[in-house]
Structure 1
């Protein structure tokens, strides 16, 4: 029998979508991170981020390292910004009932992308 992914365990795309919306609700109010989204089409970003977070949970969507690097290359994202993103992601996952061990697994997967996103 195949073990379920975290994506399947926690309800798939609809649940990930709720997590991402609360993630951005918090980020947009953040003085350090919020300005990155001032001139951004949020519906497009939410769609991309939902696919990205789904992939971190073992879901069907994924982005290559090259795509992630290219999508963030024009931004001045620092380690401090990335740390804040991790904190907000952790909180959003916990707020939506993701078990603490699973949250840490997802945050660890997110952390592996740091070199592609931080300048």
Structure 2
């Protein structure tokens, strides 16, 4: 039998949604990152981000590298911002009971996308 993905292990879409909502609660309070979302439709953003995080957990992939690059190209995201996102992602996953080795696996997948997201 095939090994379960982290996406399945941690309860699929509904659980990923909860993780993403917590992630944004933290980010929106962040002085450096929060302003990126001032003019953003947050319900759409949460939907997109839930799909993205789901894909990092081995769930259904929804974004190509090209799409990720395009979606972020107009934003002035630098390495410090990305580092902060990584810190918040790690903390949020831990808060939601994701095991340490699984947190590291997800953060590693996220880190691979850095060149697509940092301007």
> Aligning the two structures, in what range does the TM-score lie when normalised by the shorter sequence?
over 0.9
Question: Once superposed, what is the RMSD of the aligned Cα atoms?
Answer: 0.5
Normalised TM-score (structure 2): 0.99
Which residue of 1 is the match for residue 34 of structure 2?
Answer: 34
Which residue of 2 is the match for residue 47 of structure 1?
Answer: 47
How far is 1:61 from its partner?
Answer: 3.0
Number of residue pairs the alignment of both structures matches: 119
Which residue of 2 is the match for residue 87 of structure 1?
Answer: 87
Question: Alignment partner of 1:102: what SS?
Answer: helix
Which residue of 2 is the match for residue 101 of structure 1?
Answer: 101
- State the Cα deviation string for residues 74-99 of structure 1 (Å, max 9, x = none): 00000000000000000110000000
* Distance in structure 2 (CA, Å) of the matches to 1:116 and 1:2: 31
How far is 1:65 from its partner?
Answer: 0.6
* Distance in structure 2 (CA, Å) of the matches to 1:31 and 1:20: 19
* Distance in structure 1 (CA, Å) of the matches to 2:99 and 2:62: 23
* Structure 1, gaps ≥5 residues long: none
Question: Alignment partner of 1:75: what SS?
Answer: coil
* Distance in structure 2 (CA, Å) of the matches to 1:46 and 1:62: 14
Shift >3 Å, 4+ stretches: none
* Distance in structure 1 (CA, Å) of the matches to 2:32 and 2:87: 13
